Amino acid sequence: MTQQTSDEAAVRGGVSNLILNCVGVELGDTVLLVNENGGVDRDLIGLMEEAIKSGGGTPYSLWVDSLAGIKAMPKLLGSAILAADKLVMNANLNRVILLNHLLANGQADMVRINNRSRLPDAFTSEHAHFNWKLVMALASKIEEVTSAATDWNITSPYGTNISGKVASESDVANAFFVQDAAQSRAERVFPGEVFAPVGSTGANGTIAFDHPGFSDKVRFINPMMLTVTDSIITDIGWMQEEARPGQKDDPSGSTVWTRDQLIGVLTSNEQKFGRDRTYVVDSWHGGMHPKAVKKDGQQSNQDTMHFHIGRVPSARSAYVSDQTITLDGKAFWDKGRAAVLDDVDIRGLASEYGVQL
């Protein structure tokens, strides 16, 4: 038997965190791994299967071609998902399609993981090794703090200055997060996470939309300035930037490069849902992972948040960096860092799990 290298041990450590702490494999569990051909390292899948067996579960792997752009759950895939106890998505399946399928079949409480780490190197980072049980604890503590709050204020060094009240409901939160909070966050993202959206009402001020979004985290030189009056976007200030390498229109609105593109996706929603539903500031939330770094393709880093614009099925996101947030005048986020990390309970759990915050 050859001696394991430090890199191999690091990869296995990250995989163990995914399977044991994030999936939470228990004795007797059947775990379905949905793997995209060409989209995930095959040796990694072998390590995941091995870790599931070590945790007392039984793994089943289903290899599929790209699921990008599908409009409905494929019959065979849907049946396989319903037959499993837990699900790990190593493929890009639309979360709305998956959630609707589970809801229709009474299985919305299924633990399901959107695994964004699909190459060995991704499992060697501090992000991937940060105990996912502590991520769950952070989510719970943040939910406790935000649910008790009445007033919020958000500022950034780049021009954001907006205040409002915490709403008892949020269409975006209700659609994707409320049921998961009640079910111990049945929908999970590895290695990162965002906290549940905070519903908003009575918002007034300015949102400095300061970077393109999901696919590009580099800040604009001149942010788009969104004026908010009584929770409605009433003006979008001009933003002119040179085109970036690889820049292209994103119909989903996850990455917005220009003011014209933002207006285009909002106009499309207005035609479908009406002006008030389209331009209302529904809610806001952001990344909460202490070890996540700011990079393209993820939203779990603490120093980025976004507002949901619209009470519609595909709300637009307005991104803000290095945010400072107060709730009822008390620090919730300070210059891109979660104040909850200083909570005595969180620090106690971090010590118990051997995690350095």
- Tell me the C-alpha distance between 223 and 201, whole Å: 24
Place of tokens 């106009």: 267
Task: Output the CA angle 107-192-221, nearest 5 degrees.
Answer: 125
| CB atoms inside a 10 Å sphere around CB 350 | 19
CA–CA distance, 99 with 87 (Å, rounded to integer): 12
**pLDDT value at residue 69:** 84
Strand runs (DSSP E) across 210-277, as ranges?
224-229, 232-236
Name which of 163-172, 261-270, 338-347 the model is least confident about. 163-172
| SS3 label, residue 226 | strand
CA 207 – CA 349 distance, rounded (Å): 35
pLDDT digits over 84-142, tens only?
Answer: 999 999 999 988 899 899 999 999 899 999 999 999 999 999 999 999 999 999 998 99
Looking at the predicted structure, is the pLDDT value of residue 185 above 80?
A: no
What DSSP line would sit under 288-352, residue for residue? Answer: -BTT----TT---BTTEEEEEE-SSTT-EEEEEES-EEEETTEEEEETTEEGGGG-HHHHHHHHH
What is the rounded average pLDDT of the residues 49-74? 95
Whether 171 shows a pLDDT value over 70: the answer reads: no
- Distance CA(201)–CA(164), nearest Å, equals 6
Mean pLDDT, the chain, rounded, equals 91
Residue in the structure block whose two tokens are 């930037």: 241
Taking the CA atoms of 228, 229, 234 and 240 in sequence, report the sign of the dihedral they define. Answer: negative
Helix (H, G, I), strand (E, B) or coil at 1: coil
Cα–Cα distances (Å) from 75 to 106, 133, 167, 217, 290, in that order, read 17, 33, 39, 37, 39
Single-letter amino acid, residue 303:
D
Amino acid letter, 272: K
Every domain range in the chain assigned CATH 3.40.1830.10: 6-129
Q: What is the pTM for the complete model shown?
A: 0.87
- What tens digit of pLDDT does each residue of 315-348 get? 899 999 999 999 999 999 999 999 999 999 999 9
| 6-129 CATH, one of 3.50.50.60, 3.30.70.1290, 2.70.98.70, 3.40.1830.10 | 3.40.1830.10
Q: What is the mean pLDDT of residues 291-300?
A: 88
Please state, in angstroms and rounded to a whole number, the distance separating the CA atoms of residues 4 and 225. Answer: 53
Q: Check pLDDT > 80 for residue 181.
A: no
